[in-house]
Every structure is written in C-alpha cells, then in structure tokens.
Amino acid sequence: MFDYAPAPEAKLASFQKSYGHFIGGKFTKAANLYPTINPASEEVLAQISHGTAKDVDLAVKAARSSYEKVWSKLSGAERGKYLYRIARIMQERARELAVAETLNNGKPIKETRDFDVPTAVSWFFYYAGWADKLDHAGLGHNPQALGVAAQVVPWNFPLMMLAWKIAPALAAGNTIVLKPSETTPLSALLFAEICQQAELPEGVVNIVTGFGDTGAALVGHKDVNKVAFTGSTEVGKIIAKQVAGSNKKVTLELGGKAANIVFDDAPIDQAIEGVINGIFFNQGHVCCAGSRLLIQESIHDEFIKKLKRRMNTLRLGDPMDKNTDVGAINSADQLAKIKKLVKKGVSEGGELWQPECKIPRNGFWFAPAIVDNVSPANTVAREEIFGPVLSVITFRTPAEAVTKANNTEYGLSAGIWTEKGSKMLKLADQLNAGVIWSNTFNQFDPTSPFGGFKESGYGREGGRQGLLSYLKAGK
C-alpha cells in the first residue's frame, strides 16, 4: 500500500452566513434558521432557513404567476436558450460548485469535480435542445406543460438531482418550486444565484429550503400540478398517499437493493472494479448501488480475496483531498442507520470484513465493508443500507441468479458480469430492474432513461422518456 502526500483542493467556494429562500427571483430574509454542516468535520458552513407552509405558498404563487404571465408565453426556442445559458454558467463556476458540494455533502472532490457537476451540466445541455422539439416527444402535436412542478430532491447527489429535475421541467415549459435536502442545501442556493446570473425570469425557479414538513407542504399544495420526488421508498409512499385523488402527475425515484451478478466467465479484474465502484462510489449513498454481490459459487473464494485486496487500497478521508476514494457519511443519522443495519446483519449470520483504515476524529465515517455468507432472508440482503456495505450471496445457475436478484421489493438497477453476450441478453430480459449495467456499473447519461420497477418508484428521468414526466397531450 502506497502512502500519498495530501493533495487538497483549493477552497474555491464561500458561503454567506445565512440564506433565505429563493422566491420570485430574490432571496427572502433569512429566518427560522438551522445550521448546515460539513459532515467531514462537523464545522458549520451556513445558517439555513427552515421553510414554513407560508414560505411554500409564496413560492408556489410566484411559480404560478411566472408560469401564466411569462414562461408559458415564451417559445420553446427561447426557453431552450435559457437552459443553455444556465449550463454555460454552471461550467464557468464548475469548480466552485464541486467544492461547495463536497464541503456540504462529504463526498470526495474527485467525484463532484469529475462526475456530479459535469453530469448536472450535461442534463441542462441535453434538455435545452428538447425545448423547441416537443412535437417529437411522443404525445402528438403541441403537447402542453403541466404547470407548476413541486420537486423534492435528496442529499446524495444534491446538484445532480436538482439538474435531473429542473432541466426537463423547464424544457417542457413548467415552472418550479424545488426543495433540497435539509442536510445539503448549499449547491441549490448557489444554483439560485446562477438563475439570477442567467437572467431567468423571476419565479420560474423557486427554491425553498427546509425539512420534511416543508416538503410535505410543497407536495400537498393545492396549486401544484406535478410532484417529482427522489428519496427513500418510505417517504415516496407517504407522498403517493398524499397526492391520491388529486390530478397531480407524480414521478417517484426511490430506493434500491441492486444485485451485481458476477459469473465465472466474467472479466474478473473489470468485475472487481465494477463491484467496487458499484457499492463504494459516493460512500454507497446511491439508490442504484450494487449492494448485493451475487457471485457464482465456483469463483467465490478467489473473487472475495481479490475484492478484499482492492478494498485495502481504497483511501478514506478528507473529501477535499484529490486522492480520496471514500468520503464522509452525510449525517450522524445516516451513520447510525448504517451501523444498526450492519450489526443486525452480523447477528443474523453475516460475516463482516472491513479493511484497516484510519478514521478521522471529527465527522461521520464508515469504513468500506463486506458482509459475506449472507442468506436471502438476512436484513442486509433485503433492506437498503445506503452506505458502503456490500452483502455477498452465492448462486450456481443463471436461473438461480435471476430468482435471487429479483427476490426483493425493489427494482431500480442490476449488474451482469459475463463475457457471454447471449447469456447477458437473456438475463437482462429476465431481471426486474429499470437500469441494467452489463460489464459496467453506475453509468448515467442525460440521453438514457433512468428509474425503477416495483417499489423503486415510477416514471423515468433522462431521455425522451424523461421529458414525458413533465408533459401532457395537447388538445
């Protein structure tokens, strides 16, 4: 194992002491404050306003007014140009956004710099081009926007999830009230500044910060036409109940418990990298994480040995260090949840292994972990951990792999590792998952629809299909 000298990224982002909400193109006076922290150091970064039902109402009113007076009257071509502008400004401020995201989320700077921010930008570029081509979306001539979209996004990819929500909604002609996660509001607030710099008409994008009660007020607001949520299955079910009986169109992108299936004829070294990336990318705070390794029994021992060797080289620590592979867990609550589930998995017969690594004194950390010898009924084989924990299950035949992979209430993603194309294609047909990565994992692209089967939610984000979540057929 090599030693690395520290390679810290410059702290290219600064925050105001406190932030209000972004409503009608302006920041409101900060009020009802709570601190947002850096989970790697527990240092307070800024004070954030906890939005009330009244704040939400003002934001929805601003969105409705701008929808009726401005946004719905603009041509698609002009809307598209605003999106292009936003994409360009995000590129100009890319490093600042990456640093802000890393400070507030705890994920490694190499991920925010090379993945989160560029992917967020690409979403705006992609959907910008759709704005004047909606006749080709698949709903016939002159499809219509829905109106005001309520969007609630999670803490694991704060800026990227914002982009996945805002870009298609604006391209389709909707206006927006978005609520970022309570633990990671800062990149959304920087994005509000970007909207100002892009001279986006006031009220087209509104951002209200706060907790679950703020989100509930937004989702339940009677003047909202569309609800888009990414987060836990538990909250997704609450939202689905809340909107029942309304005319609100809903898309939900919820939890997952993906099987990453490795056959004995797989390219083993690639598969090791894919399994590592599948579960330790973003500390495993990924809804589509490959959290269940399904390994063909004949290569179990060899594969686990290689996997452990590779895990020994993962560098855990300061997320601002450019060499860091595994950053901080996003919050104390999440860390407690991970620890509890792993403990339960071990008590139910799982064998826990973690590499030796130095855990920083402050902040929230969990060393990468595998739990081997996991039975299908084990808690760590069934429940989403949302942390850097890989459960290992064996199988003998492709049919058994499919049965075990599908034996979950989730259905977001799956991985297949084999050099045999015909086997891969058959498995891809049989797996009940919305995204299948074969001989790769955790790939995302704005042209490529993403979303789940079963309790992983409904609706898609990305591609033409993702546009349909924000449109209805014209009259």
Amino acid 160 reads: M
- Least separation in angstroms between residue 68's CB and another protein is 25
How many other CB atoms are there within 10 angstroms of residue 351's CB atom?
12
- Least separation in angstroms between residue 200's CB and another protein is 25
Which lies closer to another protein via its Cβ, residue 213 or residue 409?
Answer: 409
Q: Per rule CB under 8 A, is residue 2 in the interface with another protein?
A: no
Amino acid 234 reads: E
Q: Per rule CB under 8 A, is residue 448 in the interface with another protein?
A: yes
Q: Which of 101, 182, 287, 384 is catalytic?
A: 287
Residue 355: exposure state from Cβ atoms within 10 A (0-12, 13-18, ≥19):
middle
- Least separation in angstroms between residue 322's CB and another protein is 22
Which lies closer to another protein via its Cβ, residue 379 or residue 456?
Answer: 456
> What is the residue-wise DSSP string for 389-416?
EEEEEEESSHHHHHHHHH-SS--SEEEE
- Least separation in angstroms between residue 434's CB and another protein is 6
State the number of binding residues for another protein (CB under 8 A): 44
Which lies closer to another protein via its Cβ, residue 274 or residue 387?
Answer: 274
Q: Per rule CB under 8 A, is residue 437 in the interface with another protein?
A: yes
Q: Per rule CB under 8 A, is residue 268 in the interface with another protein?
A: no
Element of type H or E holding 201: none
Q: Which of 111, 253, 383, 455 is catalytic?
A: 253
Rounded Cα–Cα distance for residues 219 and 240 (Å): 10
Q: Per rule CB under 8 A, is residue 269 in the interface with another protein?
A: no
In this chain, which of 173, 327, 350, 457 binds another protein, going by CB under 8 A? 457
In this chain, which of 114, 193, 297, 409 binds another protein, going by CB under 8 A? 409
- Tell me the window of 55-63, 105-113, 330-338, 446-454 that interacts with another protein (CB under 8 A): 446-454
Q: Per rule CB under 8 A, is residue 447 in the interface with another protein?
A: yes
**Catalytic: 287?**
yes
- Tell me the window of 40-48, 68-76, 161-169, 234-242 that interacts with another protein (CB under 8 A): 234-242
Looking at residues 316 to 355 of the shown chain, list those that interact with another protein (rule: CB under 8 A): none
Rounded Cα–Cα distance for residues 13 and 146 (Å): 36
In this chain, which of 176, 178, 316, 435 binds another protein, going by CB under 8 A? 435
Largest CA distance in the chain: 65
Chain position carrying tokens 């959304």: 188
CA 290 vs. chain centroid, Å, equals 14
Chain position carrying tokens 């520290």: 6
Closest by Cα among 78, 116, 77 to 99:
116
In this chain, which of 189, 458, 467, 470 binds another protein, going by CB under 8 A? 458
Determine phi and psi for 181, rounding to 5 degrees: -65, 150
Q: Per rule CB under 8 A, is residue 397 in the interface with another protein?
A: no
Rounded Cα–Cα distance for residues 253 and 239 (Å): 12
Which lies closer to another protein via its Cβ, residue 25 or residue 449?
Answer: 449
Which lies closer to another protein via its Cβ, residue 363 or residue 411?
Answer: 411
DSSP symbol at 359: P
Please say whether the beta carbons of 198 and 82 come within 8 A.
Answer: yes
- Tell me the window of 184-192, 371-379, 393-401, 453-461 that interacts with another protein (CB under 8 A): 453-461
Sorted by sequence, the CB contacts under 8 Å of residue 298 that are 6+ apart come out as 264
**Which letter, b or e, does each residue of 131-159 get, where b requires 16 or more Cβ atoms within 10 Å of its Cβ?**
beebeebebeeebbbbbbbbbbbbbbbbb
Q: Per rule CB under 8 A, is residue 424 in the interface with another protein?
A: yes
Q: Per rule CB under 8 A, is residue 233 in the interface with another protein?
A: yes
Alpha helix stretches (DSSP H) within 93-131: 94-105, 109-111, 117-128
Q: Per rule CB under 8 A, is residue 463 in the interface with another protein?
A: yes
- Tell me the window of 21-29, 239-247, 324-332, 335-343 that interacts with another protein (CB under 8 A): 239-247
Q: Specify the pairing of strand 205-207 against strand 226-230.
A: unpaired
Radius of gyration of the chain (CA): 22
- Tell me the window of 105-113, 240-248, 290-298, 309-317 that interacts with another protein (CB under 8 A): 240-248
Three-state secondary structure call for residue 465: helix
Positions touching another protein (CB under 8 A) are 122, 138-139, 233, 236-237, 240-241, 244-245, 252, 254, 409, 411, 424, 428-429, 432-440, 443, 445, 447-451, 453-458, 460, 463-465, 473
Q: Which residues are catalytic?
A: 253, 287
